Structure 1
Amino acid sequence: MIQKSLMSALLILCLVFTAVAQNQDEIVEQIVLEATENSQIEEMAHHLMDVIGPRLVGTPQMQHAHDWAVETFENWGITARNEQFGEWRGWERGITHVDMISPRVVTLEAMQLAWSPPTPEGGVEAGLVIIPEVSDEEEFSAWLPNAEGKFVMISMHQPTGRPDYNWEEFATEESLEKIRQERQDATRAWRERIANTGHNNRTLVQALEEAGAAGIIMSNWSQGFGTNKIFGAGTENIPTIDILLEDYGMLYRLVESGHDPVIRVRAESKDHGVVPTFNTIAEIRGTEKPDEYIILSAHYDSWEAGTGATDNGTGSITMMEVARILKKIYPNPKRTILVGLWGAEEQGLNGSAAFVEDNPDIVEGLQALFNQDNGTGRVVSISGQGFVNSYDYLGRWLSAAPRDVTQHIETTFPGMPSGGGSDHASFVSAGAPGFFLSSLNWSYWNYTWHTNRDTYDKLVFDDVRNNVILIATLAYMASEDPEKTSRERRVLPINPRTGEQMTWPNPRTPNRRGGLN
């Protein structure tokens, strides 16, 4: 009798496991079908990148993006809100137009930096000077009156506009070695030139502004054809303009050869004073364990050079699409699923750090956070972020995803905890399981990361869809997992540079008043 009862119990248990597995397979199959047959990512990408545009913190475009996301989530039946975490300097880009008008006429490819002051109405015409070679700060101070009324060029002249890979493909060994040495020597010499002024990059532009310069001209080449990186201006009253390598090099050579080029700069921008800054949070409430959380994480802001397509429009629309699919396929999750579209990441993970600081209950209840931030490519690497048992639960969750989605993924367990780089680090530093889903390169660092070429046309939608399927599956599995994830931390190794044992990263203190005195 006992044996028959045991056999019956085992049979029932086997049937239960089979039913669970079948249900799991069905959910994943529906996720795949919805992601491939009814994808919304192209439409979202068009609206976010083409219609709204770049999303610099403090700009009207950033606010438009937050409002559009809330409206989009609510149209899908998902509760969403904008949570203010601070204030920022409000600014709005206008027209940037730069022409060389002597010794010949040509329109230059240029852009004012974020938060740059405008030119006077109608623009400014002026000649150019290059930061001089001086022996010390005293000699530079004696030179400073030469900057008055001129545009000052503060970037080195690149010896070549061809990226390394182009030289490696076509150059002779001798020519390749020669150009590498020229670039190395030019970089060293320019660093010495700046250092001899007695200033760093920040104080140099302040000194030039105080000396009465008409504006600052720079070129922050991104090591790719036609790509420059555009960050923030350090001037208060005069414009700071980035000119692409090709045009900057031409101007530099004309100045050096004594042909005295003159440029006309028209740079329009608006100062909007103090404006609120937000995270957009969407929520699908859990039914069994509502106080435990899965967070779909991506920073929503961008720099202004392009339209923030791969940094981080792709991560943002991926998490939005995952939420849409889960709401449709899996509307009653066991745990609460949140979407965090973080603000002001580019200025130091401020939105996510503020969320961690303001929501200790959510951090305490975090089952897992999945963060995607480095471009349009399919996920190819996941680290356990220093959590000892991360292999056990991440391994289970990954095994449920389709093989063609996971076949390129390399995992590292337990890995090392991230202290920065992207928003998962805000959670990891608080001891919560946040995971970075690292993407295939697609020439991200030199061609789209913070550059003027980070635009819609660089998106690879097949790879983005791959990531939607992966993350939706991970979120579903994390929600269904009967166990709470372990937070046991590894013993960190000795730092070979210092000889001391490494320590877990400390939580960041968010900047809640960005660009404001």
Structure 2
Amino acid sequence: MKISTSKDFWSSTLLGLFLSIFSLSAQDSDIPKAIEEEATANSQLEVLAHELMDLVGPRLVGSPQMDKAHEWAVETFASWGIEAQNEAWGTWRGWERGICHIDMVAPRVVSLHGRQLAWSPATPKGGITAEVITLPEVADSLAFAKWLPAVKGKLVCVSMPQITGRPDYNWEEFATEESFAKMKEMRDSLQDAWRANLRNTGYTWRTLNQGLEKAGAAGIVQSRWSNAFGANKIFSANTEQIPVIDLSLEDYGMVYRLSESGKSPKLRVVAESKELGRVPTFNTIATIPGTELPDEYIVLSAHFDSWDGGTGATDNGTGTITMMEAARILKKVYPNPKRTIIIGLWGSEEQGLNGSRAYVEDHPEVVEGLQALFNQDNGTGRVVNLSGQGFLHAYEYLGRWMEAVPESITTHIETTFPGNPGRGGSDYASFVAMGAPAFSLSSLSWSYWNYTWHTNLDTYDKIVFDDVRNNAILTAILTYMASEDPEQTSREKAVLSINPRSGERREWPTPRSPNREGGMN
């Protein structure tokens, strides 16, 4: 067959090539639009949030609820046609929360608002009833040691009583300037005196409970106010035999005042929990295989575990459902990505990024082939900050990818390039420490730090679904653009800025190994 070299042939060929390129470009530009439409018209965020927060509940590492969450995630991914599995990376102290009921039975009867802390020892069957006492003012550790036998058989208050349960913003709105200033002065004076007295005991807030337990206390009563209406920080107990309970600010203050005024309040505490020994811990890993560059990866990252004061809704249920929803959308509108897409739902972030640190140790091939990682983990708000994490050329590729994101989303986002590398705030830092391009999608506060972060109020009703939906769209489009980018991302590091505290130039963070056998005192 003779090949024509006529002008018509070349015109026809060039026209065909142009039309092919135009068609591909049009098709590519349709994907971000399809992502936005799917996220808006067929959102599964409310369903995912209901099932994860209301049905599964809080996800304390080592608890049966954490196992249920992993199983739920694998089943949910499978329903979307996405392969997923739970990868074991270590073990943890197994513990299951049970019923907790706290009543004041003298000098009057009232049910109190509170809970046992994570990993708290249980009360004996039927509970305990004991008088509540407060810490004395002491001149030195000898005086405190002389007083210590008085705790035997008692419930001991170990937190400073607050003089107000109103946050400062409430005072600023309604109080006179003189009254507000007076309250702050009184509070500061009380805090200074409390800290000085604690030093005088010879103990710290980390060691005091053990000292009281050794002296025969029946239990520990605390109240760790979060400076927001009704919010207390809820973490873990550090005793071996006696329960540690946290009371609401108002109930703790009442009990404390009754004790101080000589009214001898008594509490009945029923705190049921189960020690489960050492149990395996997991990451849930879902995968959408790449078709052209399967050994290069985009990772959608969120930690799956939570504290169990609430249901872990904004820390990090919202990050979890953002990544799951982005994966669902991508599987539907972009089922054959150029690069492999991994969704990593990490375990034990709250105890030191353990799940993600284990993953980077166990999967060097993903670290080596990482095109980009997108992590979300600071509340329910829309993403408003994106840092280059110290990668010198991050602006070049993140800037290209952001061009495909709707202006209604990008208009709220401030960027910092090249920025400084994250050092441990969330799981992206595990990858950054390895020199891999990982980025935090940092969100608007919605009073996160005081209101829901590690508090008893971190529940479904605090989720702002419009903002989370924006974040799912942003994540899905960035993932699509990262997958299709003809260039591999640069890992060249910038010269880091000067630390204003030390006056020395910052250094790149070094990788840290996970705690693979955690949870024991």
Secondary structure of the residue aligned to 1:93 is: strand
Say if 2:153 is the partner of 1:172.
no
Say if 2:321 is the partner of 1:317.
yes
Say if 2:101 is the partner of 1:97.
yes
Say if 2:486 is the partner of 1:482.
yes
Partner of 1:338: 342
Deviation at 1:14, TM superposition (A): 5.7
Secondary structure of the residue aligned to 2:206 is: helix
State whether residues 420 and 497 of structure 2, in contact with CA within 8 Å, keep that contact through their aligned partners in structure 1.
no
Deviation at 1:75, TM superposition (A): 1.4
Secondary structure of the residue aligned to 1:401 is: coil
Cα deviation code 1:479-498 (max 9, x no counterpart): 00000000010111232322
Partner of 1:303: 307
Match 1:263 to one of 261, 267, 283: 267
Deviation at 1:335, TM superposition (A): 0.2
Deviation at 1:132, TM superposition (A): 1.6
Tell me how far apart the structure 2 counterparts of residues 9 and 497 of structure 1 sit (CA, whole Å). Answer: 64
Tell me how far apart the structure 2 counterparts of residues 56 and 10 of structure 1 sit (CA, whole Å). Answer: 61
Partner of 2:62: 58
Say if 2:92 is the partner of 1:88.
yes
Deviation at 1:500, TM superposition (A): 2.3
Residues 9-408 of structure 1: matches in 2 within 5 Å? 15=19, 18-408=22-412
Secondary structure of the residue aligned to 2:317 is: helix
Give the gaps of 5 or more residues in structure 1: none
Say if 2:425 is the partner of 1:417.
no
State whether residues 314 and 458 of structure 2, in contact with CA within 8 Å, keep that contact through their aligned partners in structure 1.
yes
Secondary structure of the residue aligned to 2:207 is: helix
TM-aligned CA distance change 1:3 to 1:350, over 3 Å: farther
Deviation at 1:134, TM superposition (A): 1.2
> TM-score normalized by structure 2?
0.96
Cα deviation code 1:170-213 (max 9, x no counterpart): 11111111111111111111111111111112211111001000
Give the gaps of 5 or more residues in structure 2: none
TM-aligned CA distance change 1:383 to 1:207, over 3 Å: same
Deviation at 1:16, TM superposition (A): 5.4
Partner of 1:434: 438
Cα deviation code 1:275-326 (max 9, x no counterpart): 0000000000000000000000000000000000010001101111111111
Matched residue type, 2:120 = S
Tell me how far apart the structure 2 counterparts of residues 398 and 219 of structure 1 sit (CA, whole Å). Answer: 45
Tell me how far apart the structure 1 counterparts of residues 435 and 13 of structure 2 sit (CA, whole Å). Answer: 40
Secondary structure of the residue aligned to 2:291 is: coil
Tell me how far apart the structure 1 counterparts of residues 13 and 219 of structure 2 sit (CA, whole Å). Answer: 81
Match 2:498 to one of 481, 485, 494: 494
Deviation at 1:6, TM superposition (A): 11
Say if 2:472 is the partner of 1:468.
yes
Identity of aligned residues (%): 66
Cα deviation code 1:220-240 (max 9, x no counterpart): 001111110100000000000
Secondary structure of the residue aligned to 2:415 is: strand
CA RMSD in angstroms comes to: 1.8
Tell me how far apart the structure 1 counterparts of residues 338 and 468 of structure 2 sit (CA, whole Å). Answer: 26
> TM-score normalized by structure 1?
0.97
Partner of 1:456: 460
Deviation at 1:380, TM superposition (A): 0.8
Deviation at 1:154, TM superposition (A): 0.4
Tell me how far apart the structure 2 counterparts of residues 7 and 389 of structure 1 sit (CA, whole Å). Answer: 40
Tell me how far apart the structure 2 counterparts of residues 4 and 414 of structure 1 sit (CA, whole Å). Answer: 51
Tell me how far apart the structure 2 counterparts of residues 355 and 4 of structure 1 sit (CA, whole Å). Answer: 58
Deviation at 1:29, TM superposition (A): 1.4
Tell me how far apart the structure 2 counterparts of residues 90 and 202 of structure 1 sit (CA, whole Å). Answer: 22
Deviation at 1:19, TM superposition (A): 3.2
Structure 1 window deviating more from structure 2 (9-18 vs 458-467): it is 9-18
Matched residue type, 1:266 = V
Secondary structure of the residue aligned to 1:270 is: strand
TM-aligned CA distance change 1:133 to 1:4, over 3 Å: farther
